[in-house]
Amino acid sequence: MKFNFVKMPRFIQWLYPERIWAFSNKKKSVYLTFDDGPIPEVTTWVLDILKKHNAKATFFCIGENIQKHSEIFQKIIAEGHAIGNHTFNHLNGWKTKTSEYIENVEKAERQKTEKSEFKNQQSLFRPPYGKITSKQAKILQQKGFKIVMWDIISFDFDNSISEEKCLQNVLRNIKPGSIVVFHDSLKAEKNLLFVLPKVLEYLNKNELLPQRLDVII
């Protein structure tokens, strides 16, 4: 199974109902998420844009990047955003032994808590590439992690698509309750710089509030 859909099909969500894909559309909120940071070249800019629009988001951080850029990690927390776990080394669960994968996630979680006194109400986890085995997922859930997937992925990391196409990936699919994936990474920087301000303007115009995931999970 390949996660190459902009809008995640319902049949995939039904296959894994224990994972979080989206929320009810009864509240006019959306959930912007950023994977792969923190890094100084992109994450700081993302934080400035979110602050400008009074928007909150969730950052699924790589443990190694937290270790390297702890000051930016602290800035994410200080500005009121939520933190999630994205493994320590951006591992592909389908290509990693279960014991190694779990150990890597736990290493990232320790890094997250050691660098600050911040603790989520829930331990949020997103598997890199969206690739995690059922066994790995079950073990993490038993350890208290909430596995957060998405219903919209912007494909900002794909340099083969135009900035406008990336923008339309989001605007044509976003609705109340959506969980949207962006990346605060160098690979995504070109598209993100174009797309994120316009998405935030659209959300403001349509009175859709970008919120942290941990306020609802």
Domain 10-215 class in CATH: alpha beta
CB contact at 8 A, 40 and 72: yes
CB contact at 8 A, 56 and 212: yes
Higher pLDDT, 92 or 113: 92
Nearest to 13 by CA among 213, 179, 211: 179
The CA distance from 5 to 37, in Å, is 23
The CA distance from 93 to 76, in Å, is 27
DSSP for 38-59 reads --TTTHHHHHHHHHHTT---EE
The CA distance from 19 to 100, in Å, is 21
CA dihedral 191, 196, 199, 204 (to 10 degrees): -170
pLDDT-derived band at 200, boundaries 50, 70, 90: very high
- Percentage of the chain beyond pLDDT 90 is 88
Active site residue 183: yes
Annotated catalytic residue, options 151, 183, 184, 214: 183
DSSP for 118-155 reads ---SSEEE--GGG---HHHHHHHHHTTEEEB--SEE--
Counting Cα atoms < 13 Å in the Cβ hemisphere of 151 gives 23
pLDDT tens-digit map of 3-44: 578 999 889 999 999 999 999 888 899 999 999 999 999 999
Q: Is 102 helix (H, G, I), strand (E, B) or coil?
A: helix
Would you kindly state where each structural domain of the chain is located, as residue ranges?
Answer: 10-215
Annotated catalytic residue, options 35, 151, 184, 214: 35
